[in-house]
Structure 1
Amino acid sequence: MTTRNLSQMFQPKSVAVIGASNRERRVGTTVLQNVVDGGFKGDVYPVNPKYSTLAGLKCYRGIGDLPQAPDLAVICTPPSTVPDLIKALGERGTRAVVVLTSGLAREKDRHGVTLQERMLKNAKPHVLRILGPNCIGLLSPGLGLNASFAHMGARAGKLAFVSQSGALTTAVLDWAGAREIGFSHFVSMGDSADVDFGDMLDYLASDPGTDAILMYMESIRDARKFMSAARAAARNKPVVVIKSGRVPEGAQAAASHTGALAGSDDVYDAAIRRAGMLRVDTTDELFAAVETLARLRPFGGDKLSIMTNGGGAGVMATDALVLEGGKLAHLSDKTREALDAALPRTLGRANPVDIGGDADLERYTATLAALCEDPETAAVLFIQAPTAVMPSLDVANALAALPRPPKNVFTCWLGGDTAERARRVCREAGLPTYDTPENAARAFLEAVNYRRNQALLMETPPSIPPGFAPDVARVRAIVDSAMREGRELLTEPEAKGVLSAYGIPVVETLVADTPELAGQLAAGIGFPVAVKLVSPDITHKSDVGGVVLNIETAEQAVESARQIRKRALAAKPDARVTGYAVQRMANGAEAFELIVGVATDSVFGPVLLFGQGGTAVEVIADRTIGLPPLNLNLARDMVARARVSKLLAGYRNRPAADHEAIYLTLVKLSQLVCDVPEIAELDINPLFADAHGVLALDARIVARAPALPGHGRLSIAPYPQELESTVDAGGKPVRVRPIRPEDEPAYNAFFHTLTPEDVQFRYFGLIKELSHSQMARVTQIDYDRAMTFVATEKDEAGNTRLLGVVQALADPDNTVAEFAVTVSPAAQGRGLGRALMEHIISYSRKRGTGELIGYVLSANTRMLTLARHLGFVDDKEMEAGILHIRLPLQQATQARGTRGD
């Protein structure tokens, strides 16, 4: 389930309060009073057999006595009553319930089944949606609906707030009320037994009354569902998240509070970043971020100009900006000339610009205009300290009256009452405003990082080099052999065999089963060599003295092997020593030691790691996390966020590392994780990286049966290679496959082959160009909720050429998917359109989609003829010249017409 029946929850026409009361300090009393006092215009039904009237309303003995099925019911009764109430409500026709009661996950019935399990079982036949249990409730201020036991109501506004913590819910409500911040919806999730973050994100993303989404998150259960919904929502509107549990102690507290395990905070950070959301640490930052993102126009660049009537405030803002990685703009000569005309000679012209405490309105506006025209300035921060010469309110009114400046302007008003009045004027004028220079500088940086991350996620990734062809069968054989032997830990030679099968260069390694053979192999390889322990029972060889480096003779190799065995058995007497790995010492004089690897997170599944390697890797603690599948752009971002990236650029006489080889290694590991679900842990430490490429010196892989089969363990759906096929198009085979992000250039070329009539039929208007963002929405899809198939061939240069495109975008419930199909003029008349349509129909039917719908111009007779041959029926005419057609998918196959093209 996702958004099904959530409209009844958040836009009800009638509400029943079950367990309503008039006794003081009872939840049922507070909820009923809040519903009545909130101004809800619909019907309100108190339910309690002990009363005939409550709050001036008729009170009903039970659900069966209600005059109609309420759209929304709020349950405030003891745990034991909840499952039967849910059953009765479902049978009556109610489809949305808020369960405020706690303890359902702990209490069991006489059969040992928890009350929560019974509650969900009773709801399922009716598709009845449940918010909670153990929650505060919900508020939809635009409807006057306060179905909660919160201590106060909320103003109507355009922000949605969703929280797992009841205490934080009421605290934020109080905080926002004091600041006159309004909400479209205010939701306490509680235990999220049914409605979860994924559902809320899907609902709010399509809610026209919500401009931005704020979330307080402690943990999630269904990472795949959450990531799919989060990525979709963050493409449409800002999503800002507070995730608690940054430190291990806090994470444990969060887990026990919500009854779900919290994953590693680094992994949550990576997930939030990958989804395109913005993470903040405090409620102040939460609302400051929304203040910024909701009011700003898109902007390029990352440099800030600061103007202030007090030099100290400018210094404070500069410190906050630079210490957190921000940059001041370097003002151009033209800007300085404009400042010469605006400012007295006694004042400087450097950024931050001090306009003086005696500045009049003309000086304010002239300085602001000059900075807004500066080519390097992305935004201007305006800081005002109160003075008797120029009151803050007068300055704010003057700013609000100005024509919209060409650059975004952040305002900061220092002080108390007078400053607050100025802030209110700016908010009403749509200018983001802050109470301290530090908060303003931080807000600018958050906006820069948010826009940068959004741009990264929309970038067209370069194609993987065509030579990359992993030997999956070889890896399967290695992993299956180890698992048949009951081993999770692969030997080092096996691990390097896995890496080699995926094109990751490894140092040559031979295995000897005796010390004497180790000496012989060393002599054959050539000195110097390293000798390492091979044992299925010891994970970290260095910890037990199982590695000897820089061996110069065969005799030293023999003795080193003997000592390795001795030290290993002393450290772990029961360990099996099965041999000795002998490898030539790599020349690492100019190489950087890195670590790349794979771990399995309890929430998000497989994750990738990159950082500075070596024996002190835990002490250095330089790591970045990414979620598979990775493309080259995402791999580049992972590397750039690690501290070691500054070293990789080269310094003094040390040349830079081959960055592309590092990026490609991460992408190859990502593909390995997607292809072989048994890969649970993987370390390459060290991975040597120099100007000539990369080389894996040591590798450790743990393989075990995955908790979920196939791609189910991944938090983001990977490219579905299994859907690639070949179709016949006019007697010529054509490759049909899912679209990839790197197809954008080919898609753009395909668009330019279309005739004006083709464009009119596809887009219902004449479009000459598609923007990058428009093409990215087609090529960079979430395979869990949309599918686009492309028919391809290779041109004379070996580049991919698109012949046709068909897509289906499903709603969050997968009940309806809208299709669109286009074929290049050069490929028309070969049956390709029909082949693509049959492809998308078959895919959608297997996926369980309820029906395919399409909107077709009545002039597009070829499409209408084809659709009718495929079983589509004309549903209705949406408007003049546009037909709505539909094809039910989950029923007996309809009789088809004769084949047409």
Structure 2
Amino acid sequence: MNTLDQLLKPKSVAVIGASIKDRRAGNIVMKNLLLGGFEGAIMPVTPKYPSVCGVLAYKSIDALPITPDIAVLCTRASRNVALIEELAQKGISTVIILASDMARSDNEISIQDRCLKIAKDSNMRLLGPNSLGIILPWLNFNASFSPITALKGKIAFISQSAAVCTTILDWANDKNIGFSAFVSLGNGLDIDFAELLDRLSMDSHTEAILLYVDTIKDARRFMSAARAASRNRRILVLKGGRTASGRKAARLHTGGDDTLDIIYDSAIRRTGMLRVNNTHELFAAVETLTHSVPLRGERLAIITNGGGPAIMAVDTLLERGGKLAQLDEETLNRLSTVLPESWSHSNPIDMVGDAGNRRYVDTLNVLLDSNIADAILIMHSPSAVSPSEQTAQEIVDAIRAHPKHKQFNILTNWSGELTAKPARQIFTQAGIPTYRTPESAVVAFMHLVEYRRNQKQLMETPTSAEPVHIGELNHAKQWIEEKLEQNHTLMLDTHQIGSFLKYFNFNVLPTWIASDASEAVHVAEKIGYPVAVKLRSPDIAHKSDVHGVMLNLRNSVEVANAAQAILDRTKLSYPAAHIHGLLVQGMGKLAGGEEIRIKVITDNTFGPVILIGQGGSEWDESIDAAAALPPLNMTLARYLIVRAIKSGKIRPQKLPDPMNIDGLSEFLVRLSQMVVDCPQVQQLDIHPLLANGNEFTILDADLVLSRYKKDAHERLAIRPYPVEMEQKLTLKDGTEILLRPILPEDEPLHAEFIHKVSKDDLYKRFFTDVGEFNHEALANFTQIDYDREMAFVAVTYTAGNPTIIGVSRALINHQNSDAEFAILIRSDLKGIGLGKILMGKIIQYCKDKGTAQISGMTMPTNRGMLTLAQKLGFELDVQFSDGTADMVLRLND
């Protein structure tokens, strides 16, 4: 039994350190449990009092009559090690720790580390420390230190900050917004975001999940769980620590590393979640999520009785990349029949300041009847001819009466306070999102749009990029091994790494080394003017610190003067620095190009990260770069570039031959392959990359290598394509196949494959009649998380063109206790041993992963599948009455 079941579905609870004194944690938790109406056993534990809040108390943990599902520790940190030991001896599986100062050392080992060791040894789970507790409204369970409880609802909230918890609760109660679960992680010593996302994304009471994040400790687990959860539930993230000072505060609050905010931003986008920037946006987004339907499109229509507020709304919409709905001729004509002649005749639909209730309702009905918008924002400024409350109520009635109202997202903005507040309350009670300002209403709408875009990006089919040839990749790996043979860490410059970069098909500007100014002149005369001269020193990370780069030197005098000046400045500013001479490069082909800076860094939490921005010596990564996590495909690389351009990180010039985005995308994909396959690459700084149309030339680069003995893929936040699982085989009829993991790029091939499977075979696979599979369904088949699921495809090649002829897949639960398998073979290719090969491959994969068992379900009439399963050792349970046949194979104890 998963121990989170006790946390999320408790039937009994013990309060350790229960108290009769007001404002003590042990008293507040007891009162919250009792006032909440929890029907399970509530057992206070304290040696001081015979009862607490009218409930019989027990003098010790050992005296408890039953083993509770949860124990809430309301005691000082110094007592918790001994208490955790007692709870372990009692067999209690889940403990909530409220104490906040457990990171301090006690006998050289921190209190929380000692508690965690006891917990791990006894299979106990810990929530906290520094937790506010947990509230489960659907169970009337409030085991928290919060002064406010939560209403029943369909949003789960998980937070590392107790203060954010109470703030959200206070606001939500005022807005009549409820929750399915309210979990305060605290420092996340044991139970973390990943586990809770896995569980709550499958919870029937939960439709959306909100996260407040200070830091993430296990990036891969978080990314994997978040990506899976975001396919089933809408997830919003409020992330603190956008600035350097904020990151420092977050580290002090919950621990973790100094990860740049742009990296978190990239990670959140990559999983399909939506990030909000502040509590104001979070409140707006929560209200929208609570009452919204999935957007069909992004067009917003605006109804208003005032031009000024509508203009502010439009400005905010367009500044954030939104789309204003266009009124078609039919809608214009219909609106003209219900509005005065002076109405705006465009969107925003300004009904003029004397608009009364009837005008609002008639205009709304015209829009609901039309198909010109996907969402409608209704705005109201205080007006004597349109009383706020009456207008609001009539709009609510009109929305409820219209048969198509559920097809639209309807938002309202009633500006003002005294007259507007009762109207906003009417909308709140009716479940219609309402906002105080035009800007906040539009921002809330854009959250829906951005979420939709993130999900579409998650599902987009990538095009293929030319991979680095395996022979060149092996040469690159050998080059690294030779460089690190005598060194643990090594810093190399452009001249030293040119051959390495060329293995990845990167064009590097030829570079020569000169020991002094005289030799620099000699090199320049040899290669031709103009030239660039650059400092070469392993001790100076940024050449710009000493003006160590001089460009467009056109004769020997300029070269000699520039070279000597670089050397003199360096010796003056950094007398202890080792100077290894100068680099000399030609500049003949540099005119009219775009300078881009690309950097690979290794983050302590997320591992390797690719940064991109405008070229230049003054470069602050946290401000001037956009980030992406490898591995990248063409689609992800393109999104990174476009995002960098839209955010001003790259500012394209108007050039005769502008930078080719597809070409730069391919460059980034090859760079990503370097990062994935060469774990010794600790850092690579390309400064700059010159882009001339579709030609990309590295002008300068610095590489840091470091020995790495672990699994190359362990350091990545996202599991890359497991090329090591590819296998060439021959079928009974002599057909040669490549058995390999599925790729996102396989979507068109997978669609062709399904077309060649008979309707009867598809019915047996999916237990229903299936028609055409749309893009979203095919993307779900092909874009998988290799950390928690696997699909192997059998591929044949005819004249070099690939064809998928069969697929087996396994979806593994997050406890790794069961893998649900499925298999599908092209209907005209049965009887040649393909099914056995595909099943054998997926079984071996699950064995290697340590999965306890593999299971599947088919129909009793599917004799071929049942016969194969029986031959492979599966236990069968055929139920003809239910029309099902279960197959289970035990793999690992």
Same fold, TM exceeding 0.5? yes
Q: Secondary structure at the match of 1:864?
A: helix
- Counterparts of 1:651 and 1:534, CA distance in 2: 30
- Counterparts of 1:715 and 1:89, CA distance in 2: 35
With over 3 angstroms needed to count, the CA separation of the structure-2 counterparts of 1:821 and 1:586, relative to structure 1, is farther
Write the mapping of 1:160-199 to structure 2, written as runs, cut at 5 A.
160-199=156-195
The residue type paired with residue 447 of structure 1 is L
Q: Hey, what does 1:13 align to over in structure 2?
A: 11
Q: CA deviation at 1:519?
A: 4.6
Given the alignment of the two structures, is residue 547 of structure 1 paired with residue 545 of structure 2, yes or no? Answer: no
With over 3 angstroms needed to count, the CA separation of the structure-2 counterparts of 1:174 and 1:375, relative to structure 1, is closer
Unpaired stretches in structure 1, ≥5 consecutive residues: 892-901
Q: CA deviation at 1:376?
A: 5.5
The residue type paired with residue 176 of structure 1 is A
- Counterparts of 2:141 and 2:121, CA distance in 1: 28
Equivalent residue in structure 1 for 2:884, among 882, 885, 888: 882
Given the alignment of the two structures, is residue 446 of structure 1 paired with residue 447 of structure 2, yes or no? Answer: yes
The residue type paired with residue 546 of structure 1 is G
Write the mapping of 1:487-502 to structure 2, written as runs, cut at 5 A.
487-502=489-504
Q: CA deviation at 1:133?
A: 1.4
Given the alignment of the two structures, is residue 623 of structure 1 paired with residue 625 of structure 2, yes or no? Answer: yes
Q: CA deviation at 1:733?
A: 3.2
- Counterparts of 1:879 and 1:671, CA distance in 2: 53
Equivalent residue in structure 2 for 1:255, among 251, 255, 268: 251
Given the alignment of the two structures, is residue 113 of structure 1 paired with residue 109 of structure 2, yes or no? Answer: yes
Given the alignment of the two structures, is residue 233 of structure 1 paired with residue 235 of structure 2, yes or no? Answer: no
The residue type paired with residue 740 of structure 2 is R
Equivalent residue in structure 2 for 1:48, among 43, 46, 51: 46
- Counterparts of 2:646 and 2:614, CA distance in 1: 6
Q: CA deviation at 1:579?
A: 4.3
- Counterparts of 1:696 and 1:285, CA distance in 2: 42
Contact 2:237 2:275 in 1 (8 A): yes
Q: CA deviation at 1:849?
A: 0.9
The residue type paired with residue 809 of structure 1 is L
Unpaired stretches in structure 2, ≥5 consecutive residues: none
Q: Hey, what does 2:703 align to over in structure 1?
A: 701
Contact 1:222 1:603 in 2 (8 A): yes
Q: Hey, what does 1:34 align to over in structure 2?
A: 32
Q: CA deviation at 1:457?
A: 1.3
Q: CA deviation at 1:800?
A: 2.0
Write the mapping of 1:76-475 to structure 2, written as runs, cut at 5 A.
76-109=74-107, 112-372=108-368, 377-390=373-386, 391-392=390-391, 393-405=393-405, 406-416=407-417, 419-427=420-428, 429-465=430-466, 471-475=472-476
The residue type paired with residue 365 of structure 1 is V
Bigger drift between 140-149 and 465-474 goes to 465-474
- Counterparts of 1:116 and 1:176, CA distance in 2: 33
The residue type paired with residue 794 of structure 1 is Y
The residue type paired with residue 151 of structure 1 is P
Bigger drift between 786-795 and 55-64 goes to 55-64
Q: Secondary structure at the match of 1:215?
A: strand
Contact 1:648 1:656 in 2 (8 A): no
Q: Secondary structure at the match of 2:752?
A: helix
Contact 1:612 1:620 in 2 (8 A): no
The residue type paired with residue 281 of structure 2 is E
The residue type paired with residue 627 of structure 1 is L
Q: Secondary structure at the match of 1:710?
A: coil
Bigger drift between 662-671 and 351-360 goes to 351-360
The residue type paired with residue 742 of structure 2 is I
Q: Secondary structure at the match of 2:87?
A: helix
Q: Hey, what does 2:767 align to over in structure 1?
A: 764
Q: Hey, what does 1:479 align to over in structure 2?
A: 480
Q: CA deviation at 1:578?
A: 3.3
Q: CA deviation at 1:132?
A: 0.7
Contact 1:489 1:539 in 2 (8 A): no
With over 3 angstroms needed to count, the CA separation of the structure-2 counterparts of 1:36 and 1:645, relative to structure 1, is closer
Q: Hey, what does 1:745 align to over in structure 2?
A: 748
Q: Hey, what does 1:638 align to over in structure 2?
A: 640
- Counterparts of 1:558 and 1:14, CA distance in 2: 83
- Counterparts of 2:653 and 2:861, CA distance in 1: 65
Q: Secondary structure at the match of 1:510?
A: strand
Q: CA deviation at 1:146?
A: 0.7
Contact 1:803 1:824 in 2 (8 A): yes
Q: CA deviation at 1:640?
A: 1.2
Given the alignment of the two structures, is residue 858 of structure 1 paired with residue 863 of structure 2, yes or no? Answer: no
- Counterparts of 1:540 and 1:481, CA distance in 2: 27
The residue type paired with residue 441 of structure 2 is A
- Counterparts of 2:419 and 2:826, CA distance in 1: 64
Bigger drift between 741-750 and 249-258 goes to 249-258
CA deviations 1:184-210 (Å, max 9, x no partner) are 111111111101111111111111111
Q: CA deviation at 1:449?
A: 1.4
CA deviations 1:378-404 (Å, max 9, x no partner) are 422111234454423233323333222
Q: Hey, what does 1:777 align to over in structure 2?
A: 780
- Counterparts of 1:279 and 1:177, CA distance in 2: 23
- Counterparts of 1:316 and 1:285, CA distance in 2: 17
With over 3 angstroms needed to count, the CA separation of the structure-2 counterparts of 1:400 and 1:356, relative to structure 1, is farther
Q: CA deviation at 1:33?
A: 1.5
Equivalent residue in structure 2 for 1:612, among 611, 614, 627: 614
Q: Secondary structure at the match of 2:717?
A: coil
Equivalent residue in structure 1 for 2:72, among 65, 74, 83: 74
Q: CA deviation at 1:333?
A: 3.1
Q: CA deviation at 1:620?
A: 12
With over 3 angstroms needed to count, the CA separation of the structure-2 counterparts of 1:573 and 1:169, relative to structure 1, is same
CA deviations 1:196-250 (Å, max 9, x no partner) are 1111111111111111111111111111111111111111111111111112112
Equivalent residue in structure 2 for 1:666, among 665, 668, 671: 668
- Counterparts of 1:126 and 1:238, CA distance in 2: 35
RMSD: 2.6
The residue type paired with residue 696 of structure 1 is I
Contact 1:632 1:664 in 2 (8 A): yes
- Counterparts of 1:647 and 1:874, CA distance in 2: 59
Contact 1:136 1:190 in 2 (8 A): yes
Equivalent residue in structure 1 for 2:659, among 652, 657, 660: 657
Contact 1:267 1:607 in 2 (8 A): yes
- Counterparts of 1:724 and 1:531, CA distance in 2: 47
CA deviations 1:669-705 (Å, max 9, x no partner) are 1111111112122121211112242111111111224
With over 3 angstroms needed to count, the CA separation of the structure-2 counterparts of 1:507 and 1:821, relative to structure 1, is same
- Counterparts of 1:541 and 1:794, CA distance in 2: 51
Q: Secondary structure at the match of 1:448?
A: helix
Q: Hey, what does 1:734 align to over in structure 2?
A: 737
Contact 1:28 1:76 in 2 (8 A): yes
Contact 1:878 1:884 in 2 (8 A): no
CA deviations 1:779-826 (Å, max 9, x no partner) are 111111111111112233x33211111111111111111011111123
CA deviations 1:101-125 (Å, max 9, x no partner) are 232221414xx33222221222223
